[in-house]
Amino acid sequence: MGTGSTLGLIQHKLASARSVTVLTGAGISADSGVPTFRGTGGLWRNFRAEDLATPEAFTRDPRLVWEWYNWRRELIATKRPNPAHEAVAQMEQRFERFWLITQNVDGLHRDAGSRKLSEIHGNIWMVRCTQCRHVTENRDVPIAILPLCSGCNGLLRPHIVWFGESLAEDDLETSATALQSSDLCLIIGTSGLVYPAASFGSIAKQAGAFVVEINLDATAQSGIVDAALQGRAKDIVPLLLQA
């Protein structure tokens, strides 16, 4: 099936869908200029993300970890949602039964207007007290290091799911419910390598959804989807709404 025919099929499926679930990964934010902070080019002061985004690293040297997150926040603060983020937000308005699951922590989906969403890896603009566990928004750039809780004066940490930590149960339950009840699932800009998100396409497909992948290249999930389009999310996702 050619690209044009595939696009037409997906547009038709989306236009007739009753329940839509969208899963996004780093690829959608890459189009806004957000770096992945992992892999090639992801070093900061000779540290890898895997060396800093852990509870052990924070316990050992919270100042170093916060300096890294402040650097990331300063970079992300200059970025804006792109047409793909905006198209996903429009889908939320168009479908009564809609849910967005994002692996991204940059907050760009919220900036674009998305409200029905699970940020399963957390949000870099949210902080959590290590003592009272209270979660609040903090948009300070730069952020005070070390930041303290206004309620109990405990040390704050980024509200991020770090390596070695489990995803929040309520996020997993909400995501599973959305995937199992959707008749169309869009997987946008994710490699399909990070679990549990890598299993979400299979969950939706087993529940009867039409599963679509949009990515620059084929991924580990390409073999299980019903349709795939290769290219930049900012270019392709807005076309889906032009049925």
pLDDT in tens, 113-152: 999 999 999 999 999 999 999 999 999 999 999 999 999 9
Q: What is the dihedral of CA 54, 195, 75, 186, to 10 degrees?
A: -160
> Residue 191 has what pLDDT?
87
Domains and CATH numbers, the chain: 3-34+81-121+168-241 (3.40.50.1220), 37-78+125-160 (3.30.1600.10)
User: Where would I find the beta strands (DSSP E) of 82-142?
Assistant: 97-102, 117-119, 122-129, 135-137
Report the pLDDT value the prediction gives residue 84, as an integer from 0 to 100: 98
Q: Which residues are catalytic?
A: 121
Task: For the chain, give the longest Cα–Cα distance.
Answer: 60
Residues of the chain with pLDDT under 70: 1-2, 38-43, 243
According to the model, what pLDDT value does residue 194 have?
85
Kindly give, in sequence order, each residue whose CB lies less than 8 Å from that of residue 30, ignoring residues fewer than 6 positions away. 36, 189
Q: What is the pTM of this model?
A: 0.94
Q: Can you say whether the dihedral through the CA atoms of 183, 24, 79, 238 is positive or negative?
A: negative
Residue 105: count other Cβ atoms within 10 Å of its Cβ. 25
H-type helices in 95-166, by residue range?
Answer: 108-112
Which residues make Cβ contacts (< 8 Å) with residue 157, sequence separation at least 6? 58, 62, 65, 127, 128, 129, 130
